[in-house]
Copies of this chain bind each other. A is one copy, B any other.
Amino acid sequence: MDTNDLLKQVAFIKEIDKLKYIQRRTRLFESDRHENDAEHSWHLAMMAVVLAGHSDKPVDILKVVQMVLIHDLVEIDAGDTFIYDTSKNHTNTEEELVAAKRIFGLLPEKQAQEFLAIWEEFEEGSTHEAKFARAMDRFEPLLQNTSNKGGTWAEYDVEYHTVYNKKKAIKDGSASIWNYAERLLNESVEKGILRKDKNIKD
């Protein structure tokens, strides 16, 4: 690699520092302190490495780790979208694609294309790696909310079935983690930290 490449990479390294200022709705474990996107991304990378053995399919774990490390970088431009915000579409928005192209575009061209492809693969969610990475992204806030008396579920009055529908993406990555996650959801209803509307059919 030449010096010109290194200068571009350093510009990218400086730019992504901004991820540390993007606040999430979720809070740290047993805490009132909101988590930021850089902390979240680190935690998902740790979870991916630790829980790799639970993936139902063989996965390239480096690819999974890269996905979770970069998956929220677009929020530097586009901002954090709360998963239970019904006014916003959570699919890969035009705004996020523009952000991805700008941010990854700081890198040398070949590397920019590689990172963009990894980000798009995560957003698409079709490959084994993307499914496992997305399972991690759903599992972390579930653990946080159960440690925080319902956390964002209680704070924004989100009903069990809505949570369940979001969380079942975990099933696409790991049967054993999903089995545990489902148990946590049921326990949360029993404890009264997750509201279950009986008029909605299971």
Contacts and interface: CB of A to CB of B under 8 A. Distances in A.
Is the interface on chain A under 10, 10 to 19, 20 to 34, or 35 or more residues? Answer: 35 or more
Contact of A176 (B1, B53, B66, B70): B1
Nearest to A177: B6
A45 B69 CA distance: 8
Contacts of A111: 50
- Total copies of the chain: 2
Contacts of A69: 42, 45-46, 49
Interface string A67-89: 00110000000000000000000
A117 interface: no
**Which residue among A42, A50, A54 has the maximum number of chain B CB atoms within 10 Å of its CB?**
A42
Interface of A, helix, strand, loop or mixed by DSSP: helix
A107 interface: yes
A14 interface: yes
A9 B140 CA distance: 13
Contacts of A5: 53
B143 A51 contact: no
A13 B176 contact: no
Given A41-B42, A62-B62, A66-B49, A20 B10 contact: no
19 contacts: A5-B53, A6-B51, A9-B50, A9-B51, A13-B47, A13-B140, A13-B143, A16-B46, A17-B29, A17-B43, A20-B28, A20-B35, A38-B43, A39-B42, A42-B42, A42-B45, A46-B69, A50-B107, A62-B62
Interface of A: 1-3, 5-6, 9-10, 12-14, 16-17, 19-21, 28-29, 33, 35-36, 38-39, 41-43, 45-47, 49-51, 53-54, 61-62, 65-66, 69-70, 107, 111, 140, 143, 147, 176-177, 179-180
List the 6 shortest-distance A-B pairs measured between CB atoms, nearest first.
Answer: A42-B42, A62-B62, A17-B29, A1-B53, A38-B39, A38-B42
